[in-house]
Amino acid sequence: MTLKYTGVSKFILAGFTGNKNVQVLYFIIFLLIYLLTLLGNIILLFILKAASSLHTPMYFFLSNLAVLEIGYTSVTLPKLLAISLGTATTISRPACLVQTYFFFFLGSTECFLLAVMAYDRYLAICNPLRYSTLMCNRVCVSLSLGSWITGLLNPCPPIIMFSRLHFCGNIINHFFCDIPPLLSLSCSNTYILSTAIFISSFVIVLGTFLLTMLSYACILSTLLRMSSAAGRQKAFSTCSAHLTVVFLLYGTLIFMYVIPAAQRSMEMNKVVSFIYSGVTPMLNPIVYSLRNEDVRKALKKMMLRKFNPAVLRNKAGRMLKDP
């Protein structure tokens, strides 16, 4: 049987299956998650900017992560909302390429940023006397910029190869232009591209995860040598939020891009993809707010200052005096 190549100019995104009522329910859930993600990360950015006590390397990297999460979730969720309403289920081939590129660009950058944040915690706990020298402003900016640039360049080779593929179908069984379902539609030989994507995912996901775990192994070794239980608890409290985010992200990424695709269904792929592209970015600011004592204190201080009765009376008095 000879395969017939077709010049596919548009793809149809299947999204999540269900009748009209279920799709409306999906839309409400997805919209709430998207709005909570935007609101949570914007509030976190505002707290980190307004509180001078949080102007440290750790929170500089956290602000980078918050900006990244806003972009990351905005790559897929607006289109998913349109698909759920049935108003825009198609996507052009160039737009599909752009969506794929930005999804992997921001995903790769997040992996590098999480590894950098683990390294920052390693220096703070294992080398506290030299921390301010080793993690100066220049180093912070360099590490942050390096994460963004590496993430920016990483998807380029696969995307270039992907742009040259021929397709025999145009229905993508997913809610965004992810590589695995797109490869299943291709009439071309995808062995080289599949291998390149697997190697890239393996190196970046597992590489940054191992670097992160290495940092925490050193941190754990240092904590076990501490004589003060209070000191151990305080040191670990600065790492608990980051560790939670690490396991949330890497657990789903390893399942999705490192474990062979033949071992799972496309419906499972969609659910897992939604967890790391929608749910995890929503949970990150919540985790960092609830499990980070410094952020909680800064937020409480800002709220007390904002709604302090004496401050409100002074503001009201100034407004009455103004002509």
Q: Please give the Cα distance from 302 to 46 (Å, whole number).
A: 11
- For the chain, the average pLDDT equals 83
Judged against a pLDDT cut of 80, whether residue 228 lies above it is answered with no
pLDDT tens digit sequence for 231-243: 677 777 778 778 8
Judging by beta carbons within 10 Å of its beta carbon (0-12, 13-18, 19+), is residue 213 exposed, middle or buried? Answer: middle
Most confident of 17-31, 278-292, 307-321: 17-31
| 3-class state of residue 90 by DSSP | strand
Give the per-residue pLDDT at 123: 92
Mean pLDDT of 109-115: 93
Judged against a pLDDT cut of 50, whether residue 225 lies above it is answered with yes
Task: List, edge to edge, every strand of the sheet that includes 10-13.
Answer: 90-92, 10-13, 171-172
| 3-class state of residue 212 by DSSP | helix
Give the per-residue pLDDT at 5: 42
- Answer whether 84's CB lies under 8 Å from 27's CB: yes
Mean pLDDT of 136-151: 95
Number of Cβ within a 10 Å radius of residue 119: 19
Number of Cβ within a 10 Å radius of residue 29: 14
- Answer whether 204's CB lies under 8 Å from 108's CB: yes
% residues pLDDT > 70 (the chain): 88
10-316 belongs to which homologous superfamily? Answer: Rhodopsin 7-helix transmembrane proteins (1.20.1070.10)
Best CA proximity match to 288, nearest among 246, 233, 257, 225: 246
Mean pLDDT of 191-197: 85
pTM above 0.75, yes or no: yes
- Answer whether 61's CB lies under 8 Å from 116's CB: yes
